[in-house]
Amino acid sequence: MKFSIIFEAQLADPTVEREHQLFHDSVEQAVLAERMGFDRVWAVEHHSLKWYAHMSAPEIFLTWVAARTSTIRVGHGVVCMPFAFNHPARVAERAATLDLLSGGRLDLGAGRGGTEQETSLCGVDRDRTAQEVEEALRIVGKAWQHEELEYHGELIDIPPHPILPRPRQTPHPPLFLACSRTETLRQAAELGIGALVMGFAGPEAIAAMRTAYDAARAERRGDRLVSTEINDHFAVLCPTIVLDDRERARAVGLRGQRFFAQSIGHWYGGAGLPDEAVVEGAGPEQAAAELRQAAEQVVARLNEQRIPVRPTSTATFHADHAYGTADDAIAYVERLRAAGADEVMCLIQMGTVPQEACLETIRQWGEKVIPHFAADRRRIADRATGDRT
């Protein structure tokens, strides 16, 4: 079991000053995460999504984090791979440079960045995003395994060129795909890359998604692999706030989650303004009720626009997550592990969560949650050693 933190760079009531502080706060969290034993830091890429995600240049954020740390891995979770967002050759160049500077600590995920707000900014053809993401992954994988890149595909032609520099990791950094549907899980498995499972649906839905991913892996023939290096890692989102005071942790977490629901619903479904989700002093029961109300508003707006709402959609997430004490978080991670998670991506920095709660959550995970599972690994290893002797 691996443990990581994922950053959206969310911001309620954004001002220039608050935005500046947000990035420094996020770096402080990442540096603490290394000290507390986390394995990885992920950063998203979104564009023009005010409130929901101010992380539009993750390669710069991750480079800053890499310079301030020495062991924790840095991950693109994910790069927007449609060509008008990022040309595949430029993705390969930038990612290889970061891998070199970090001493071989990079992981590279791919995604579509599919909101109309984002695609209209960069002139992306929304009907081609899935195809372009897959083709970009093939190009990046090929660029890192050959002296020269030459690519002639359905959507893009690249004449022979060396792609410089080459990454530190051999043959290249691990590749991942953002997954929220059975189709993308199957795609990731067939391409031979890891799954970054986003969404708030919980362990039961995660178990079903793991089953779909494993079924596609079992049927994999190898004709769609994007690289000779296969990565079957399955990472899942884990919203969490952990404090000594269980009730306060749930109130802070649910308030942050409601902000997340409202802000993503605004851009994906036009449902209200995210500052409506900023509720001071809400107790856990009130916060949970407000979360359900926000989700219902999002679902209603999506239905009005004839946009299908999936069971794993972030628009329908619920309040049962790792909010509470360290013991509550351990119990929740046990459920995620049983569901098939190889990695837990902690979502802590939701828009209304104060910095002190983020830092305390990271400390509690590092001092109590992660050691619990490390000890569990040692017990399993000791038993295996005993069986062999």
Indicate the class that CATH gives domain 2-388.
Answer: alpha beta
Which pLDDT value is given to residue 277? 44
Q: Three-state secondary structure along the chain?
A: CEEEEEECCCCCCCCHHHHHHHHHHHHHHHHHHHHCCCCEEEECCCCCECCCECCCCHHHHHHHHHHHCCCCEEEEEEEECCCCCCCHHHHHHHHHHHHHHCCCCEEEEEECCCCHHHHHHHCCCHHHHHHHHHHHHHHHHHHCCCCCEEEECCCCEEEEECCCCCCCCCCCCCEEEEECCHHHHHHHHHHCCEEEECCCCCHHHHHHHHHHHHHHHHCCCCCCCCCCCCCCCEEEEEEEEECCCHHHHHHHHHHHHHHHHHHHHHHHHCCCCHHHHCCCCCCHHHHHHHHHHHHHHHHHHHHHCCCCCCCCCHHHCCCCCEEECHHHHHHHHHHHHHHCCCEEEEECCCCCCCHHHHHHHHHHHHHHHHHHHHHHHHHHHHHHHHHHC
The structural domains of the chain, with segments of one domain joined by +, span 2-388
Walk along the chain (389 residues) and give the pLDDT tens digit of each residue.
Answer: 999 999 999 998 889 999 999 999 999 999 999 999 999 999 999 999 999 999 999 999 999 999 999 999 999 999 999 999 999 999 999 999 999 999 999 999 999 987 889 999 999 999 999 999 999 999 999 999 999 999 999 999 999 999 999 999 999 999 999 998 899 999 999 999 999 998 887 899 999 999 999 999 999 999 999 999 999 999 999 999 999 999 999 999 988 988 888 788 778 766 555 554 454 555 667 766 766 666 666 666 656 655 555 544 554 567 899 999 999 999 999 999 999 999 999 999 999 999 999 999 999 999 999 999 998 766 655 665 565 55
Which pLDDT value is given to residue 180? 86
